[in-house]
Amino acid sequence: MSTGTAQEPRTTELAKAYEHRDVEGRWYRVWMERGYFHGDENDTTRPPFSIVLPPPNVTGSLHLGHALTATLQDILIRWKKMSGFNTLWLPGTDHAGIATQMVVEKELVKTEGKSRHDLGRPEFLKRVWAWKERFGSRIGEQHQALGASLDWERERFTMDEGLSRAVREVFVTLYEQGLIYREKTLINWCPRCHTALSDLEVNHEEGHKGELWSFAYPLSDGSGEVVVATTRPETMLGDTAVAVHPDDERYKAIVGKMVRHPITGREFPVIADSILVDPAFGTGAVKVTPAHDFNDFEVGKRHGLPAITVIGLDGKMNTNAGPLVDQDRFEARKNVKKIIAELGLDRESKPHVLPLGRCQRCETVLEPMLSWQWFVKIAPLAQPAIEAVEQGKTRFIPEQWTNTYMAWMRNIHDWCISRQLWWGHQIPAWYCPDGHVTVAREAPQACSTCGSATLRQEEDVLDTWFSSSLWPFSTMGWPEKTRTLQTFYPTSVMETGHDIIFFWVARMMMMGIHFMGEVPFRTVYLHPMVRDEKGQKMSKTKGNVIDPLVITEQYGADALRFTLAALTAQGRDIKLAKERIEGYRAFANKLWNATRFTLMNLSGFTVGLDPHKAARTAADRWILARLQRAVNETVEALDGFHFNEAANTVYQFVWRELCDWYIELSKEALYGDDAEKKIAAQAILVHCLETSYRLLHPMMPFITEELWNTLAAQVGGRWGDSLMTAAYPKPGPVDEDAERSFNPVIGVIEAIRNIRGEMNVPFKTPLADVEVGALEQSAHATVAQEKGRIERLSNATVAIVAAGRAPTKRGGSAVAVGEGFELRVGLAGAIDLAAESARIDKELSKVEQDLTGIERKLANPSFVERAPAEVVEKDRARSEELRDKRRKLEAHRAMLQEAEGTMETPNPAAETITPTAQVAETPPPEAPAAAPDTGETTPPQGEAETARQPKARRAPAKKAAKPARKAAKPAKKAPAAKKAAKPAKKVARKAAKPARAAKKTATRGAKKTAARGAKKVAKPAKKMARKPARKTAAKRGR
């Protein structure tokens, strides 16, 4: 963290590399001091946009899942704020009942060797509060390090006074409405945590390998026995019936008879129950233990059977278990089997796979336990919550979660809300000595039934999720009718992990609708889980938790945030690898250096110049168009919660287009004498950067704020107080013509670079003889205009032939045929005919391949008939283009073959090739090596042969080896039906460089533009078709 005091940012020259430690940390305080984080409940001019932060456990510390939550929400909040919304992002923490209590208990044992019982409830609670005070602030610090623009003035805690009041209000109201009741019934009990749990807190272990053990109950009348099976033998001590199916002929005779318990001696009946018993399973007879099995409990109710509890709350057998009293339930299991075996009543044992309920927190096998508990009657609350989603009042993103939510809501059981813990909201119910219950908002003076003044408050506390379920409105001051509620409820977005859709989201829906009469949020965006590199969920128990602060310190908060955003695609979990973060840290550095470059080239900068009006060159107009497209796509992506697309769009623009292309292109103007072009380039650079900062700010708040201010100061003016309050770039029409018309320039530069690479001519060696031709009128004009830039970026001297004319044919040249141009690079003596031959061949085979596919399609009458006209038209044009390209390439190849032929027998015709004089004049660095080559032996026949020629040419051996290696491949592929048609040789050489290069750079604009001719017509159509749909969908929800 920096100690800087940056009220005013530095305006000195930027450091050579971006150091996040020097920048982050300064800005957060500035933002906070200026009150930017505050949501204004009295603002009626701007539309509200609110999010409540899912409250982390107060004693916990943030992991990467939290960092993701904070990042995505901050992106939304900052974006909306910049887009003119009155934003509120409300922070807080959760008391996390059982989790916190256990942490403190453990600590207590460790440090003082005491249990909570040793301290007593009041003292223990004091300790928990102290713990909370000590560690609670950690969460805040972590969020601040991440740059989260949370409104700290409104920070809440689920057990603070206001929220506790809300909890009591809700409890009492629901009680009064008959929606909360107390009942002695079977619940899931954790013998270790010593508390009841809700259904959701039960983890079902799948496929637990258990045992199905059967034994016989002797009939009391001595007429025989009935064999039953169980996976939990110890529960037989609490059996109060044996059930059979009423239609089961085998047992008809014994229904109504009594059996005698072989251990306790109790007698109980054989009953008939068609719901419980599946005659096909096991023996068709079932032992019934109403006090320890959910099914049996129902049977007990149906048949009026007694429920005998044999296992105590601590998991040990109680006095009802006769001889097994005080034994642990698992020990008792063994002993019951032993005793029964000794009695000769055991019958069978076989392995049995069964689901096993375990405590979510401590993994202990749960015990169904009969006890008094408080419940929320859920059906009346669930129904409206179902309807709200059906009616689209709240929608889920990704949509698939709607089903999950619905399925759960429709099968929901009553919610057990009482917990036998100390840490939490103590249930506002009081008992008088007569056992009457008084439920009240504040401690009552007397029993509401009998008036007794002797009252004892219910000791149980509420499930921690009870208070969380009120979070969207309790944090805004409910039950008071506050301005905050009025302005910011319902919240705009609930953004959280899908793991708590039931625990939290569903319950907030129910409570919000019930108490506010309105859904708590319009959109639920459920983000993926962050997993470790192995794909495992990060959890404290697994020990694979990564502290975001460690990452932040190492790579910077911006890098972490951007990485998380870039990886947040809908529908898949995030496996976070360090390399990814490193990559995006490099991106931050790139942005830094792009700014640094600009700052170094601002002399003569003209303040107030409109970049669009100033634009002088095709390159200028191109980058401005690309910028606008990036803006459009980013906004659209954010609008649809496609964080990865937003991140990637900006990344591609800044790095690939602005830095790799425009900055390089702009050097021509910046270093040149044309003042007009120079100030235009400066204005455009500044404009692109400034816009990029704004685009990027929600994702990378620190570095963008720093650079924005630095650049503003350097260009002689302030753009505003802070980037945080600047306006987000607005979508608008894209100058597609500007995008398109620049493509030949990019194509030409890439083609030259490609030839350099393939021919092994280093960049520093100038190419003196480059000709560009076959340009149509408009392309010709552009290329001519951009000649200087082309030359700079390819380090070549370029001649442009008249529009429509091909470059002159000349030997000793490499040739590239791109979309809309043809290029010849004279390599003088440096030409490696074998390499060039191979290169052309490779290209030709690619053309051939593409052509074959397209022609086959076009030859198919049903395609021509049934495919959309534009698709057919596109393919026709493409086909034409490919044929043209093939023609040109073949011509070039013929020439190469001729040249190679001449090598075999040097003849006068060789003069048409590079004159030797030229070789002498402009020898590329390695050219001399080529000279002795001439007149070698071995007459190559075709170019393939040539390629394989191992002759010791100047061309390194590997070059020759390459095609050979590739040639091996087709053998593998040949079987593939689709490709079988082509000559194997051609299949082998697939890569067509210019095509590839053009595709790559033609940059996304070109792709998306319905360009003339064969260019990307289809793709844009697809994209357009998809995106607007998404957009409207997104809008509907608001």
Partner RNA sequence: GGGCGGAUAGCUCAGCGGUAGAGCAUCGCCCUUACAAGGCGAGGGUCGCAGGUUCGAAACCUGCUCCGCCCACCA
Binders of RNA in range 407-436 (CB under 7 A): 407-408, 411, 413
Instruction: Please identify, among the stretches 90-98, 251-259, 894-902, 969-977, the one whose residues bind RNA according to the rule CB under 7 A.
Output: 969-977
Which of 93, 144, 185, 295: binder of RNA (CB under 7 A)? 295
Gyration radius (Cα) of the chain, Å: 39
Q: Which is nearer to RNA, 26 or 1008 (CB)?
A: 1008
Q: How many CB atoms lie within 10 A of CB 956?
A: 12
Question: Residues 66, 72, 74, 76: is their CA dihedral positive or negative?
Answer: negative
> Strand 437-439's sheet: what is its strand order?
437-439, 429-431, 456-457
Q: Binding to RNA by residue 866, rule CB under 7 A? A: yes
| Contact in structure between 994 and 750 (CB atoms under 8 Å) | yes
Binders of RNA in range 835-854 (CB under 7 A): 842, 850
Instruction: Please identify, among the stretches 13-21, 63-71, 620-628, 701-709, the one whose residues bind RNA according to the rule CB under 7 A.
Output: 13-21
Q: Which is nearer to RNA, 294 or 319 (CB)?
A: 294
> CB of residue 352 vs RNA: minimum separation in angstroms?
7
> CB of residue 297 vs RNA: minimum separation in angstroms?
9
Hey, what amino acid is at 22? D
Which of 574, 647, 772, 779: binder of RNA (CB under 7 A)? 574
Binding mask 598-617 for RNA (x = CB under 7 A): --x-----------------
> CB of residue 750 vs RNA: minimum separation in angstroms?
4
Gap between the Cα atoms of 30 and 706, Å rounded:
12
Q: Which is nearer to RNA, 154 or 337 (CB)?
A: 337
Q: Which residues pair with 259 in a beta bridge?
A: 219, 268
> CB of residue 765 vs RNA: minimum separation in angstroms?
9
Q: Which residues pair with 86 in a beta bridge?
A: 48
Instruction: Please identify, among the stretches 116-124, 227-235, 249-257, 463-471, the one whose residues bind RNA according to the rule CB under 7 A.
Output: 227-235
> CB of residue 645 vs RNA: minimum separation in angstroms?
7
Instruction: Please identify, among the stretches 606-614, 662-670, 713-721, 808-816, the one whose residues bind RNA according to the rule CB under 7 A.
Output: 662-670
Prior bond of 233 cis (ω within 30°): no
Q: How many CB atoms lie within 10 A of CB 144?
A: 19
Q: How many CB atoms lie within 10 A of CB 709?
A: 24
Which of 305, 505, 614, 997: binder of RNA (CB under 7 A)? 997
Which of 43, 160, 199, 884: binder of RNA (CB under 7 A)? 199
DSSP for 393-453, written as a single string: SSEEESTTHHHHHHHHHHTPPPEE-EES-SSS-B-SEEE-TT--EEE-SS--SS-TTT--S
Which of 130, 253, 577, 957: binder of RNA (CB under 7 A)? 577
List Cα–Cα distances, 805 to 802, 809, 821, in angstroms. Answer: 6, 11, 10
Q: Which residues pair with 157 in a beta bridge?
A: 93
Binders of RNA in range 321-380 (CB under 7 A): 352, 354-355
List Cα–Cα distances, 92 to 53, 686, 928, in angstroms. Answer: 7, 40, 74
Total number of residues binding RNA (CB under 7 A)?
118
Contacts of 497 (CB under 8 A, 6+ apart): 65, 69, 526, 527, 528, 529
Reported as type and span, the H/E element at residue 133 is helix 121-146
> CB of residue 285 vs RNA: minimum separation in angstroms?
7
Which of 102, 806, 858, 867: binder of RNA (CB under 7 A)? 867
Gap between the Cα atoms of 894 and 943, Å rounded:
10
List Cα–Cα distances, 782 to 299, 616, 664, 770, 785, in angstroms. Answer: 87, 12, 17, 17, 5
Binders of RNA in range 754-813 (CB under 7 A): 754, 756-758, 760, 762-764
Q: Which is nearer to RNA, 419 or 527 (CB)?
A: 527
Which of 101, 230, 309, 335: binder of RNA (CB under 7 A)? 230
> CB of residue 580 vs RNA: minimum separation in angstroms?
6
Backbone dihedral region for residue 256 (phi beyond 0: left; psi -120 to 50: alpha; all else: beta) = left
Cα dihedral: 276, 279, 282, 288 (round 10): 30
> CB of residue 71 vs RNA: minimum separation in angstroms?
17
Which of 150, 523, 1015, 1034: binder of RNA (CB under 7 A)? 1015
Q: Binding to RNA by residue 277, rule CB under 7 A? A: yes
| Contact in structure between 198 and 365 (CB atoms under 8 Å) | no
> CB of residue 908 vs RNA: minimum separation in angstroms?
36
Binders of RNA in range 626-655 (CB under 7 A): 644-645, 648, 655
Q: Binding to RNA by residue 572, rule CB under 7 A? A: yes
Which of 36, 135, 152, 863: binder of RNA (CB under 7 A)? 863
| Contact in structure between 729 and 695 (CB atoms under 8 Å) | yes
Gap between the Cα atoms of 19 and 86, Å rounded:
33
> CB of residue 637 vs RNA: minimum separation in angstroms?
10
Binders of RNA in range 478-537 (CB under 7 A): 499, 502, 535, 537
Q: Which is nearer to RNA, 41 or 273 (CB)?
A: 273
Binders of RNA in range 25-84 (CB under 7 A): none
Binding mask 238-267 for RNA (x = CB under 7 A): ------------------------------
Gap between the Cα atoms of 93 and 618, Å rounded:
55
Q: Which is nearer to RNA, 1022 or 1038 (CB)?
A: 1022
Geometric angle at alpha carbon 123, from 121 and 129, rounded to 5°: 100
Binders of RNA in range 696-755 (CB under 7 A): 750, 753-754
Instruction: Please identify, among the stretches 12-20, 132-140, 672-680, 945-953, the one whose residues bind RNA according to the rule CB under 7 A.
Output: 12-20
Binders of RNA in range 386-405 (CB under 7 A): 400, 403-404
Q: Binding to RNA by residue 951, rule CB under 7 A? A: no
Q: Which residues pair with 429 in a beta bridge?
A: 439
Gap between the Cα atoms of 594 and 601, Å rounded:
11
Q: Which of 581, 541, 556 is nearest to 60 (CA)?
A: 541
> CB of residue 899 vs RNA: minimum separation in angstroms?
23
Gap between the Cα atoms of 686 and 746, Å rounded:
22
Chain-centre distance for alpha carbon 490: 25
> CB of residue 636 vs RNA: minimum separation in angstroms?
12
Q: Which is nearer to RNA, 253 or 600 (CB)?
A: 600
> CB of residue 311 vs RNA: minimum separation in angstroms?
15
Gap between the Cα atoms of 766 and 830, Å rounded:
12
> CB of residue 932 vs RNA: minimum separation in angstroms?
21
Q: Which is nearer to RNA, 61 or 203 (CB)?
A: 203
Binding mask 131-170 for RNA (x = CB under 7 A): ----------------------------------------
> CB of residue 543 vs RNA: minimum separation in angstroms?
16
